[in-house]
Amino acid sequence: MRYHSSGNIPQKRHTVFKSPEDNFYYEQLFGTEGFHGISSLLYHIHRPTQIKEVKLYKDATPQIAVAKNIQPRMFKGKDVTPEDDFLESRKILMLNNDLKMGLAKPRKSTGYFYKNAHMDELFFVHEGKGVLKTFVGDLEFGVGDYLIIPRGTIYQMEFETENNVLFFIESNSPIYTPKRYRNEFGQLLEHSPFCERDIIVPTLYAPKDEKGEFLIKVKKEDMIWDITYATHPFDVVGWDGFFYPFKFNIKNFEPITGRVHQPPPVHQTFEAHNFVVCSFVARLFDYHPLAIPAPYNHSNIDSDEVLFYTEGDFMSRNHIDLMDFTLHPGGIVHGPHPGAMERSIGVKETHEYAVMVDPFRPLLLTEEAMKVEDPSYLTSWLE
C-alpha cells in the first residue's frame, strides 16, 4: 500500500475544514487493525453517523455439510446458480475461521449500498464488466481483475453485463501484498512480480450532497442488517492515506520462472492471516533440458489447497472446465493426473490462468458446495 490523496483535504489533520459556503466538513478516520494499522482520513459533507433505522435483513450464516474433510474434491462453478441480487448471489462453498470463499453470479447492479463491517473482501472477476463505486471513488473492472475491498468500505456494484461470475473471499484479517516483496518503507521491491504501477487506486468524483433515506446493507458476523442513513454515503470531498480499495489485474502478474519447477510461493499475490492467494499465469516453462514442468506429487501437510480455474488449459489436470474449483486437503498427497507429467516434458509454455488459495487451517464445506460437487474427482488418479 502507498500514500494516496484525492479531492480536497485540509493542510493539517484534525483542524477546522469548511466548504466555500462556510459549512463544516466532518472528518472520519477509516482504518484497520486498531490504531496501528493502515488508515485514511475522509472528509464528509455531512456527519457519517446519522442513522435513522436498523433492521435485520437476514441471517446469512453458511450451512455446513462437511465439517471435517479429508477427500480431494471438485466443485463445478458452472453449476452455481446465478441470482439477480449481488448479496443473494454470493454462494459460500468453503470456509474456516480465517476466511469464506465461493462464487457469485449476480445479474443486476446493486440499488442499495453495502458494507462488510468486519471482513475484507476480495473479488476475482472471471466474467463481467462494471464499476465498483465506493465512498473513496470508483474503480472500473473487467475480466481478470482482483478487487480488494477493505472492511468498512461502503460500496455499490454497477454491472454493464448480466453474465457476471465473481470468485470471492471474505477474510477475517486484512488482505495485503506479500511482506517479503516490500521493503521497510512499504515499497514493492525489484523481485516482486508486480509493482505500484499495476495497483489501481479509485478515482474520486464529485461528492453527493443529498439528504433523505439511504439504505446500507451491513454484514457483520454473518448477519446482514438494513441500516437507513439520513445522508448519501458518497459525500466525501477528499481523503488521504494508505487505506482504500484497489484493483490489480492477473495479466499484470509477471511470472517467476526457473530452469526446474518453481514452488507455489513464486505465484503468491496476496497474504492474510493464515492464508495466501496465488496467481497462476501464462508463462514459459522450466528450461533445464530434462525438466518436468508438471508439479511433483506433494502432501501439503500444513494447508488445504484450492484452485479456481479461470482461463486456458490446465496442464496438470485431465478434465477441468473453467470455473471449476478443486480442493486438495492438507495431509493427502496430490499430484498431476495420469499422463499429465509425461505430457508436460519438453513443453515450452503454458497459457493457463488460475487463482489458488491456500488456507493454513482445514476448510469446512457448505451445503452449497455439495450441490455442485463432482464426486468422480476422488478416484480420477486411478490408472
Q: Which residues bind Fe ion (CB under 5 A)?
A: 305
Closest by CA position to 158, among listed 138, 130, 127? 130
Per the structure block, which three cell numbers stand in for 277? 492467494
Nearer of residues 138 and 305 to Fe ion, judged by Cβ: 305
Per the structure block, which three cell numbers stand in for 301? 501437510
Nearer of residues 65 and 332 to Fe ion, judged by Cβ: 332
What are the residues facing 356 on neighbouring strands? 278, 307
Sequence-ordered list of residues with C-beta below 8 angstroms from that of 126, at least 6 positions apart, any chain: 77, 143, 165, 166, 167, 308, 310, 322, 323
Least Å from the CB of residue 299 to Fe ion = 9
Q: Starting at the edge strand that comes first in sequence, how are the strands of the sheet with 39-44 ordered? A: 4-7, 236-241, 39-44, 26-31
Per the structure block, which three cell numbers stand in for 91? 454462494
Least Å from the CB of residue 347 to Fe ion = 19
Least Å from the CB of residue 112 to Fe ion = 40
Nearer of residues 170 and 305 to Fe ion, judged by Cβ: 305
Q: How far is CA 163 from the centre of its chain?
A: 19
Nearer of residues 201 and 332 to Fe ion, judged by Cβ: 332
Which spans in the chain are helix H?
Answer: 340-344, 367-371
Nearer of residues 149 and 276 to Fe ion, judged by Cβ: 276
Least Å from the CB of residue 336 to Fe ion = 10
Nearer of residues 61 and 299 to Fe ion, judged by Cβ: 299
Least Å from the CB of residue 319 to Fe ion = 17
CA gap 366, 207 in Å, rounded: 41
User: Are the C-beta atoms of 263 and 300 separated by less than 8 Å?
Assistant: no
Cβ neighbour number for residue 13 with a 10 Å cutoff:
12
Least Å from the CB of residue 300 to Fe ion = 6
Nearer of residues 30 and 377 to Fe ion, judged by Cβ: 377
Residue 209 backbone dihedrals phi, psi, to 5 degrees? -95, 80
What are the residues facing 4 on neighbouring strands? 241
Q: Which residue is nearest to Fe ion (CB)?
A: 305
**Tell me, what DSSP letter sits at residue 297?**
P
CA gap 189, 187 in Å, rounded: 6
Closest by CA position to 315, among listed 287, 290, 345, 291? 345
Nearer of residues 235 and 358 to Fe ion, judged by Cβ: 358
